[in-house]
Structures are given as structure tokens and as C-alpha cells.
């Protein structure tokens, strides 16, 4: 008896689903999910700073963090990798790793898109890594090409993202100037009032060390499901609020931590980095 | 085995050189045997499958090793701080002396038997030989250059166009090719023909003297747990009780941030000590006698001091004057003249 009721409910539900899909088909049919049926998809990393747009070397119009410290930004670069999308019914597609590394550069607007190919479908969830996964971080030199080439970008001043001495990549590089930075050894002894945050650490090659790789999952249902089709460019538009570096859950003052690189404190900042990403809308 | 091969190669080379004037065709007989594991050595750690050593790859690597364009102002090559006659160290310098007369903080380690190395640098942080050269190239006190510039400079030279093509089939100069060629040269820097090796391989009736033999027994009892034969290192990182340096170099800790790694440095090989003074990560001991004095009397109870140096509640390794004499005699059997005189490894 109970079983029959269940079956009846299931039947009604099934018919209802059929009806719904039957209706939507007329306007925008959801293609059958097939891993080989690839179509263009992109994620746009649109950098912002609190309530303002992102601009480099903004010395005439400084930003202000929650601690009231005024600052300008001179460098922003970060790795996005391992993009994965999921449909409402749980079908997942991970972009093949070799096509899934992107270096977003604040100084180069063209780099703000992570362009990939995923199967046609409607996606309600987006997952990506901020940084370079540990597997790739320990691969041989043959697997480090393009933006992962240790020679890429030149030295650290000109945008290089490879740490030679600690055989790994800087995941998130954020530099700027603030009057609150001291002129002594704890701040910037050159007197340029520079702050530098180079956040990396892939967990160690043979023994565990700090791991600042962050996997970010974004629910797309509120601000717009990604409808990926061959005849158009579905683009998930993310706002990346770099103010959260200072104002996130582990908020801190530039004056107290003007230089954070490979150190225990970097773990606190890396936690803030997961709060940078907010889905604003989707262009389908 | 290996020695014989090198010798054969050397004579072939002589032959080639001798004949060259009359008949360049003879060069075809020249044979390159690639990487060969000495029979008394363990299986190498390096992944040769991804980078097999070839004659042309080795030659390209050798040219790059001695290439001053790897430094910012084209003055310093790898060979500047890794001098063959000093078993590829910078003999006489406590810490390395790099570009613009800048001084580093560490003693230049030997380029020797690297195919068996699991980790690089005195303080670790690099675990793949193919990625190691990035460190000296980019370090402010060493070559102070960046890899992108190095590759650009190399691309401009016809010599390298030719060498890259010979080694890898096309003229392309990429990071991977550059690193692999350097690795090929460094992997061939094998020191395995000391008196010790000949005794172990029972070559030409080589035997230890009484002092050397006594020293060998003492070495096995007192030193061999860290300086494991036949490489004379176990490749681990340990705190050997050095007094903290003025700059408080914390060694492996800097790369791992683990409390248990503070003041640990890589256990160095004991091969070729005659050519590689001074000793320790900062070159603080000018002589071997100074090192033995340290283990006998000067070991400090610092954080993470190795357990082997505090056995029975006593610091260090007790050594009598006779012990020191015999151990010194044994260690002298680890000097490898063929290695420091091998013309194949020299700047051409």
C-alpha cells in the first residue's frame, strides 16, 4: 500500500518533470549531457576594490581598508586553475588539466577571462582553484609550459610567479604602497612604503608543509545559471574584491603585516582569499 | 667499469684529436657512453627516462654550465662558484662569491653524484635537479638574472642554435631544454674513482693501509649512520650541533616552516674533502681538523640536535688523537683525482 503511494507520487513527479522539460524545450532546450559535445564557456575575473573599480597606481585616489589605512595598488596577479562545472542533476565536467591554467593580471585586462570548453548544458555550480594544484607543482620541467614556465614573466618585480628557492608558484601576488608602512626592517627599508603579499605554498614535495591552495565553489543559481551552447559564449561574470585581502574574516592591518610571503601568517591571508570571489551575473 | 669507459673514451678522443688534421671523417668513431652507474653505487634517484643523457645534450649542458651569460652582467657562470679543480666547489671561500663581488650566506656545494640526490641546496626547498639552476641564476648574490633574459641572450648566439638543434632536434631554446641540458652535464659529474672505490671494487689489487683500514672501521662505527656509503651521505637534513651563526640561518626550516626542521642542513658527502675546504653550510671550518674538533668537543645543544650526537647524554663524538689520525687517513682515500682532472667535465 505504502509502496503504491510512493509509486504514484513518483509517477506524478515524473509526469510533471516531463511537462516542465517539454515546455522549456520550445524556448531553450537543455542539451543532453555528453562529454564530447563541447562548447565555449568562460569565467570572467573582474577585479574590484570594495565599492570601487580596480585601478593600478591609484596614488591620487587611494583606497581605504576597514582599518582606515589608505593604500594604492601596484601589482595584482593570481593563478586560476582546474575549472569544473556541475549541472543541477549532478553531472560534472572537469576541464582537461592542460587547458585549465590561467594567470589573471591586474595590469592586463585581456587576461581577465578564463576561456575553456565544456559540454553543452545548464550549469548551476562552478568550481575552480585559486593557485596551482599540488600535482602540477611537483611535475617535471616538461609539464611547466606557458604561464607555468618558470621563465615566464621574468623576475619577481616584472611579474614572475615562480619561487626558485622553494620550488613552487606564487598563487596570489598583491603589492602596493601605503603611508602606514614603516621604513625599518619590519616594513620597507628602501623607504618606498611598499607592501607585498606573495601567497603560495602547495603542501610540500616530500613532507607536508603549508598548503594555501584554495578550491572555490560558486553557486550559480542565484545570479544566473550558465547555459552553455555551441552558438554562443556563456560567460560567468565574477567580481573579485581584493579589498577582502584586508577586510576578510582574518582581517589585518597593513602596518602590522606589510610583507607576507612564505610564512605561517600567509595561511590567515589565504583564508581571506576564498572570500574575494562573488558571482555577479551570467551572460548567456 | 666506469673508469675503464672514461679511459677508453679519453683515448678515443685523443685519437680523434690526433687524426683530425688529416681526416675529419675519423670523428665518427667517437662514442659517448652516456650515464653509467658505477658498479658499487646504488640505483640513481634522477628520472633518466624523462631526460636521457646524450652526447650532444651533455655538450650543450657543459657549454651552458660555463656560460657567463647566465648572469645579469655576463660575468659569472655556474663554473665560477663550482670549480672543477675544487671538486666543483669554490675552494677557499666560506660563502659563495657571486656577481659584483656580492657574498651569499652559504658555502658553494659540490656538483657531484647529483643523480643520487633527493633534495638540493643546504636548506632544501628544491627536490628536482631540473629546477635547481633557477635558484643561483635568480639569487641576488649569485647571478642576479632572470631566466627569461638568460634564454633571450642564449637565443642570439649561433653557437647555441647549433647546440640546441644537435641536442633536441630543433633550434628552439625553451626552459625545459635549457634545464635538461644543464642536468645532463651535472649528472655526468660522477666521482666514483677514489682509492676507496677501487678497494671496494677490488680493482688492481687496491688495498687500504693499516691506518686507512683502522680509520675505515672507526668511520663505520662513529660516522656512517649519517654519512652512508658509498655516497657518504644519506641525503637527509640534520642538526649537527653547530653554534648558531650571526645571521641565525635556520636551514631546512626556511623551506618547510616546521619546528622540527629548525637548524637542520643537508648531510654533505665526505668525498673529495681535500679539494673542497672550507666546510659546513657556511664554511666556518677551514680544515678537516677543525671539523673533527667540532664533533669531539664543540657540539652545541641547539633545537633539534641530532640524536646521534647526544647518545648516552654526552654531546658529540668522542675522538682520541689516534682516532683523528686514522679517520683522516681513511677520509683521504675518498679523494678522486680522476674526477677533478676529467677533461670531459672541463670548460672546452
Read off the pLDDT of each residue in B209-231 and give the average, rounded to a whole number.
Answer: 97
Q: Is the peptide bond prior to B230 cis by the omega test (within 30 degrees of 0)? A: yes
- Mean of pLDDT over chain B: 91
Report CB contact under 8 Å: B256, A204. yes
Q: Is the peptide bond prior to A41 cis by the omega test (within 30 degrees of 0)? A: no
Q: For residue A234, give the nearest of A83, A102, A98, A20 by alpha carbon.
A: A83
pLDDT confidence of residue A25 = 42
Provide CB contacts within 8 A for B150, sequence distance 6+.
A151, B69, B70, B137, B178
Pairing mode, if any, of strands A121-130 and A226-228?
antiparallel
How far away is chain A from the Cα of B27, in angstroms, using its nearest Cα? 33
Strand partners, A202: A211
Q: What percent of chain B has pLDDT over 90?
A: 83
Report CB contact under 8 Å: B149, A165. no
Pairing mode, if any, of strands B237-238 and B265-266?
antiparallel
pLDDT confidence of residue A237 = 97
Report CB contact under 8 Å: B176, A151. no
Min mean pLDDT across B12-16, B67-71, B316-320 is at B12-16
- pLDDT tens for B144-174 read 999 999 999 999 999 999 999 999 999 999 9
Distances (CA, A) of A33 to A88, A91, A107, A229, B176: 12, 8, 37, 11, 38
Report CB contact under 8 Å: A209, B257. yes
Distances (CA, A) of B122 to A61, B88, B95, B143, B262: 46, 15, 12, 18, 13
User: Per the structure block, which three cell numbers stand in for B181?
Assistant: 641540458
Q: Which of A136, A141, A211 to mutate to test the interface with B (most CBs of B within 10 A)?
A: A141
pLDDT confidence of residue A1 = 46
pLDDT confidence of residue B137 = 95
How far away is chain A from the Cα of B144, in angstroms, using its nearest Cα? 10
Q: Chain A residues with CB inside 8 Å of B125's CB?
A: 165-167
Helices (H), chain B: 2-20, 55-65, 78-81, 134-138, 147-155, 158-168, 175-187, 195-200, 210-222, 253-256, 273-276, 288-293, 321-332, 337-341
The more confidently predicted of residues B25 and A137 is A137
Among the CATH numbers 3.40.50.300, 3.40.50.460, 1.10.3720.10, 1.10.760.10, which is that of B37-191? 1.10.760.10
| The Cα angle at residue A178 between residues A174 and A182, in degrees rounded to 5 | 110
pLDDT confidence of residue B100 = 81
pLDDT confidence of residue B140 = 87
Provide CB contacts within 8 A for A153, sequence distance 6+.
A147, A159, A160, A161, B148
Q: What percent of chain B has pLDDT over 70?
A: 91
Contact A44, A35 (CB under 8 A): no
Computed over its alpha carbons, how large is the radius of gyration of chain B?
21
Nearest CB to B135; choose among A155, A164, A262: A164
Q: Chain A residues with CB inside 8 Å of B255's CB?
A: 165-166, 209
How far away is chain A from the Cα of B149, in angstroms, using its nearest Cα? 7
pLDDT band at B5 (very low <50, low <70, confident <90, very high): low
Q: Which of B135, B173, B175 to mutate to test the interface with A (most CBs of A within 10 A)?
A: B175
pLDDT confidence of residue B197 = 98
Min mean pLDDT across A85-89, B13-17, B187-191 is at B13-17
Q: Sketch the domain layout of chain A as residue ranges.
A: 1-30, 32-283
- pLDDT tens for B88-102 read 999 888 888 888 888
pLDDT band at B19 (very low <50, low <70, confident <90, very high): very low
**Angle between helix B147-155 and B175-187 (nearest 10):** 90
User: Per the structure block, which three cell numbers stand in for A115?
Assistant: 576561456
pLDDT confidence of residue B99 = 86
Length of chain A in terms of residues written: 284
Cell 677490488 locates to B202
Q: Which of B126, B149, B181 to mutate to test the interface with A (most CBs of A within 10 A)?
A: B126
Q: Say whether A131 sits in a helix, a strand or coil.
A: coil
pLDDT confidence of residue A156 = 74
CATH class of B195-332: mainly alpha
Whether B53 shows a pLDDT value over 80: the answer reads yes
A68: exposed, middle or buried (Cβ count in 10 Å: 0-12, 13-18, 19+): exposed
Closest residue, chain A, to B181 (C-alpha): A141
Contact A120, A155 (CB under 8 A): no
Nearest CB to A167; choose among B50, B128, B258: B128
Gap between the Cα atoms of B227 and B207, Å rounded = 21
Which residues of chain B are at the A interface, by a Cβ-Cβ cutoff of 8 Å? 47, 50, 118-119, 121, 125-128, 130-131, 134-135, 137-139, 146-151, 174-176, 179-180, 255-258
Contact B4, B33 (CB under 8 A): no
Report CB contact under 8 Å: A152, B179. no
Provide the phi-psi class of B154: left if phi over 0, else alpha when psi is between -120 and 50, else beta: alpha
Q: Sketch the domain layout of chain B as residue ranges.
A: 1-31, 37-191, 195-332
Report CB contact under 8 Å: A206, B256. no
Q: Chain B residues with CB inside 8 Å of A262's CB?
A: 257
pLDDT confidence of residue B102 = 85
Closest residue, chain B, to A149 (C-alpha): B175
Gap between the Cα atoms of A194 and A258, Å rounded = 8
Computed over its alpha carbons, how large is the radius of gyration of chain A?
22
Gap between the Cα atoms of B309 and A83, Å rounded = 51
Whether B24 shows a pLDDT value over 90: the answer reads no
Distances (CA, A) of B48 to A27, A105, B190: 58, 36, 15
Contact B320, B292 (CB under 8 A): no
Strand partners, A10: none
Whether B193 shows a pLDDT value over 80: the answer reads yes
Q: Which of A142, A212, A264 to mutate to test the interface with B (most CBs of B within 10 A)?
A: A142
Q: Say whether B302 sits in a helix, a strand or coil.
A: coil
pLDDT confidence of residue A32 = 86
DSSP 8-state secondary structure symbol assigned to residue A110: G
Q: Do domains B37-191 and B195-332 have the same CATH topology?
A: yes
DSSP string, B65-118: HT-GGGSTTS---HHHHSBGGGTSB-TT-SS-B-GGG-B-SSPPPP--SGGG-S
Q: What is the ipTM of this complex?
A: 0.79
Q: Chain A residues with CB inside 8 Å of B149's CB?
A: 154
Ranges in chain A, pLDDT < 70: 1-27
pLDDT confidence of residue A157 = 77
How far away is chain A from the Cα of B226, in angstroms, using its nearest Cα? 19
Contact B154, B81 (CB under 8 A): no
Neighbours of A269 (CB within 10 A): 21
Amino acid at each position: 500500500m505504502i509502496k503504491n503511494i510512493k509509486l504514484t507520487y513518483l509517477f506524478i513527479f515524473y509526469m510533471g518533470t516531463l511537462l516542465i522539460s517539454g515546455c522549456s524545450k520550445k524556448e531553450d532546450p537543455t542539451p543532453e549531457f555528453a562529454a564530447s559535445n563541447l562548447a565555449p564557456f568562460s569565467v570572467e575575473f573582474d577585479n574590484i576594490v570594495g565599492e570601487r573599480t580596480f585601478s593600478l597606481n591609484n596614488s591620487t585616489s587611494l583606497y581605504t581598508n576597514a582599518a582606515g589605512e589608505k593604500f594604492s595598488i601596484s601589482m595584482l596577479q593570481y593563478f586560476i586553475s582546474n575549472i569544473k562545472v556541475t549541472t543541477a542533476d549532478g553531472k560534472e565536467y572537469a576541464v582537461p588539466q592542460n587547458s585549465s591554467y590561467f594567470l589573471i593580471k591586474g595590469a592586463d585586462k585581456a587576461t581577465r577571462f578564463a576561456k575553456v570548453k565544456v559540454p553543452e548544458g545548464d550549469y548551476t555550480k562552478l568550481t575552480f582553484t585559486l593557485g596551482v594544484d599540488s600535482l602540477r607543482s611537483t611535475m617535471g620541467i616538461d609539464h611547466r609550459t606557458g604561464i607555468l614556465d618558470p621563465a615566464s614573466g621574468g623576475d619577481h618585480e616584472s611579474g614572475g610567479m615562480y619561487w626558485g628557492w622553494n620550488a613552487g608558484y606564487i598563487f596570489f601576488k598583491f603589492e602596493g604602497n601605503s603611508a602606514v608602512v614603516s621604513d625599518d626592517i619590519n616594513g620597507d627599508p628602501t623607504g618606498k612604503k611598499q607592501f607585498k603579499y606573495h601567497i603560495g605554498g602547495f603542501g610540500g614535495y616530500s613532507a607536508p608543509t603549508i598548503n594555501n591552495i584554495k578550491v572555490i565553489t560558486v553557486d550559480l543559481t542565484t545570479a544566473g545559471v550558465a547555459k552553455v551552447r555551441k552558438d554562443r559564449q556563456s560567460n560567468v561574470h565574477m567580481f573579485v574584491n581584493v579589498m577582502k585581502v584586508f577586510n576578510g574574516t582574518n582581517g589585518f592591518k597593513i602596518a602590522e603585516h606589510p610583507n607576507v610571503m612564505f610564512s605561517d601568517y600567509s595561511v590567515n591571508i589565504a583564508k581571506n582569499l576564498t572570500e574575494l570571489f562573488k558571482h555577479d551575473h551570467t551572460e548567456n | 667499469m666506469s673508469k675503464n669507459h672514461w679511459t677508453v673514451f679519453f683515448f678515443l678522443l685523443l685519437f680523434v684529436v690526433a687524426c683530425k688534421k688529416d681526416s675529419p671523417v675519423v670523428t665518427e668513431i667517437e662514442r659517448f657512453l652516456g650515464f653509467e652507474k658505477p658498479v658499487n653505487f646504488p640505483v640513481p634517484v634522477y628520472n633518466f627516462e624523462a631526460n636521457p643523457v646524450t652526447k650532444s645534450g651533455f655538450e650543450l649542458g657543459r657549454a651552458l654550465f660555463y656560460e657567463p651569460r647566465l648572469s645579469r652582467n655576463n660575468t659569472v657562470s655556474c663554473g665560477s662558484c663550482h670549480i672543477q679543480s675544487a671538486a666543483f666547489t669554490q675552494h677557499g671561500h666560506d660563502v659563495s662569491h657571486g656577481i659584483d663581488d656580492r657574498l651569499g650566506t652559504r658555502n658553494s656545494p659540490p656538483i657531484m653524484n647529483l643523480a643520487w640526490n633527493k633534495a638540493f641546496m643546504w636548506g632544501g626547498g628544491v627536490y628536482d635537479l631540473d629546477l635547481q639552476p633557477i635558484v643561483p641564476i635568480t639569487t641576488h648574490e649569485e647571478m642576479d638574472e632572470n631566466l627569461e633574459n638568460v634564454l633571450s641572450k642564449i637565443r642570439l648566439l649561433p653557437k647555441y642554435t647549433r647546440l640546441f638543434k644537435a641536442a633536441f632536434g630543433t633550434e628552439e631554446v625553451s626552459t625545459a631544454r635549457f634545464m635538461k641540458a644543464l642536468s645532463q652535464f651535472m649528472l655526468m659529474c660522477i666521482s666514483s674513482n677514489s682509492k676507496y672505490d677501487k678497494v671496494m671494487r677490488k680493482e688492481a689489487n687496491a688495498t687500504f693501509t693499516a691506518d686507512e683500514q683502522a680509520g675505515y672501521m672507526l668511520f663505520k662505527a662513529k660516522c656512517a649512520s649519517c654519512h652512508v656509503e658509498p655516497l657518504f651521505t644519506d641525503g637527509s637534513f640534520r642538526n649537527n650541533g653547530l653554534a648558531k651563526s650571526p645571521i641565525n640561518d635556520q636551514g631546512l626550516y626556511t623551506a618547510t616552516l616546521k619546528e622540527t626542521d629548525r637548524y637542520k642542513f643537508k648531510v654533505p658527502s665526505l668525498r673529495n674533502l681535500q679539494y673542497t675546504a672550507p666546510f659546513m653550510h657556511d664554511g666556518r671550518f677551514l680544515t678537516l681538523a677543525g671539523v673533527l674538533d667540532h664533533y669531539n668537543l664543540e657540539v652545541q645543544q641547539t633545537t633539534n640536535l641530532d640524536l646521534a650526537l647526544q647518545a648516552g647524554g654526552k654531546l658529540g663524538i668522542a675522538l682520541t688523537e689516534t682516532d683523528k689520525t686514522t679517520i683522516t687517513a681513511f677520509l683521504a682515500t675518498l679523494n678522486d683525482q680522476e674526477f677533478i682532472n676529467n677533461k670531459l667535465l672541463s670548460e672546452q
